[in-house]
Amino acid sequence: MKMVTLALLFFLVGLVTKVSALNTCPKCGSIEVPYPLSTSENCGDSRYKVYCKNGSLQFLSAKGFYYNILSINPSAYKLVISPPLIQKNTCYSSDLTLGGLLLDENLPFNISTRNTVMLLNCTDNILLSPLNCSLNSFCRQFENVELGNGCRGTLCCHYLKDSAMTSHMIRVRVGGCTAYTSVVNLKPGDPIDSWTYGIELQWLPSN
Ligand SMILES: *[C@@H]1O[C@H](CO)[C@@H](O)[C@H](O)[C@H]1NC(C)=O
Ligand SMILES: *[C@@H]1O[C@H](CO)[C@@H](O)[C@H](O)[C@H]1NC(C)=O
Ligand SMILES: *[C@@H]1O[C@H](CO)[C@@H](O)[C@H](O)[C@H]1NC(C)=O
Ligand SMILES: *[C@@H]1O[C@H](CO)[C@@H](O)[C@H](O)[C@H]1NC(C)=O
């Protein structure tokens, strides 16, 4: 009798786990993976693929570079990925050889309009662009933090990634700008130690 009850209990627990697994994916390390994000074929919506690698949740670019996912806001359809590291004592983003961040245009993700992008170690050509390359540019403050240290004294600029721009890439290249970072929702006067480094992506609601 006892065995039967126990077996039934296991069966029910198994059933409940299976049903919930069909929708929302299990946590990745300590981070929740809300629907429709999908870490495997058995959960989420497969168009919203993300990767759980070694307990850290990652986003894959169209160029095959993995960016750490720092936070997710499912009700706003937004997630924030980490800007690539800048290699020590250089001013090279770790995705430089891939041309920077490029999102697959066939996937339901784009770059939101709340990112202030800073381009670093640019060539003079950048001055023909409408970007803010003045001595007051936010990028001049970034040079003073450890992450941006290798870029100190290089020509740099910032811009708000607004709706007038392509929302699928942040481009860097040798002979252009070789590094970048991004801060979410940056307001003039925000002290640098309150900056939220990240690239905010937005997804199209599923169904
Ligand atoms: C996995 O993560 C642990 C702790 O965060 C780290 O020490 C280890 O090197 C990582 N392994 C791989 C293969 O990335
Ligand atoms: C800046 O970029 C140029 C190529 O455009 C490169 O030769 C130079 O080493 C870079 N500077 C730093 C500090 O990485
Ligand atoms: C450049 O950005 C800084 C910081 O937001 C701002 O104070 C300055 O007015 C901007 N300069 C130009 C030419 O837009
Ligand atoms: C980015 O995606 C959002 C939602 O998916 C959409 O509302 C917005 O128009 C898109 N922006 C651009 C510039 O494609």
- Taking only the tens place, the pLDDT of each residue in 136-183 is 999 999 999 989 999 999 999 999 998 777 899 999 999 999 999 999
CA-CA distances (angstroms) from residue 128 to 115, 123, 125, 131, 156?
22, 11, 6, 8, 13
Alpha helices in the chain (DSSP H): 2-21, 139-142
Atom number of ligand 2 nearest to Cα 178: 2
The finding on whether 188 has its CB within 6 A of some atom of ligand 3 is yes
Q: Are 188 and 137 in contact (CB under 8 A)?
A: no
Amino acid in position 178: T
Ligand nearest to the CA of 112: 4
Nearest Cα residue to atom 5 of ligand 2: 175
Condensed to tens digits (0 to 9), the pLDDT of residues 5-53 reads 555 555 555 544 544 445 899 999 999 999 999 999 999 999 999 999 9
Which residue CA neighbors atom 13 of ligand 3 most closely? 132
- Supply the pTM of this predicted model: 0.87
pLDDT in tens, 76-102: 999 999 999 999 999 999 999 999 999
- Ligand number nearest CA of 169 is 4
For residue 201, what are its two tokens?
Answer: 């992506």
Helix H, strand E, coil C: the string for 129-140 is CCCECCCCCCHH
Best residue among 136, 156, 183 to mutate for probing ligand 3, ranked by most atoms within 8 Å of CB: 136
Q: From the alpha carbon of 167, which atom of ligand 4 is closest? A: 13
